[in-house]
Structure 1
Amino acid sequence: MSTSELPSFDQPCPIRDVLDRIGDQWSLLILEALAQRTLRFNELNREIGDISRQMLSRTLKRLEYDGFVSRTLYAEVPPRVEYALTDLGRSFLEPMQRLVEWADHHHAAICEARRAAMIHPV
């Protein structure tokens, strides 16, 4: 395959590219769970609670693909797989925490704005 046939992984807008990947319903919850310790798949599934196994698997694969999470397979019987944050994933914890704090602080105001919009639609 020539260089011109390789897919381009560079996106023109880094903000949109990153937020599209980590801004889904589950990624932040997974990253937050892994911030505490390395977890196996079932432990992570229990930690998050209401995520399906299929969605957890899909989201972990995306986070691994983007370099936030590492997956380690141990050659044991039965096989053991552990997930952990990478250096890149750990570097995201501080800005992620600021975002979570902002959401907690402003959630009531956002809900109030939504209620007002329902009463007085634009």
Structure 2
Amino acid sequence: MVTEPEPVTGWTAIRKGLCPRCRRGAIFSRVWLWRLPQMFAYCPECGLRYEREQGYFLGAMYISYGLALITIAALSALLWASSSWSIERAIAIASLLFLPLVPLLVTASRVLWIHLDRRLDPGAD
């Protein structure tokens, strides 16, 4: 007996980087060790075009900026509270510690933007 796969929720699709329409196709390739993941132009499952127009990912830049500020602020507060460093030094070191997280943050912000935009304006394919 063949069973249908469990439906994927919106939050699971965001967490796994799946297409907002079919929730099966990946938005990014899965290569992290040798090179940065590449974003697909279309969903490999349903053919949804991810970039709706020129400059579409400007909104993702705002999300990325906000996530970066929150991450650096949290790292700075943690370093400042757990050491005798000045706040300036804690911010500088937190910024350096943040740099390896940038590729993850950029991919996450694009996935969040695609899902948010498709939720707010689903008809514009």
Q: What is the TM-score when the length of structure 1 is the normalising length?
A: 0.34
Structure (1/2) with the larger helix percentage = 1
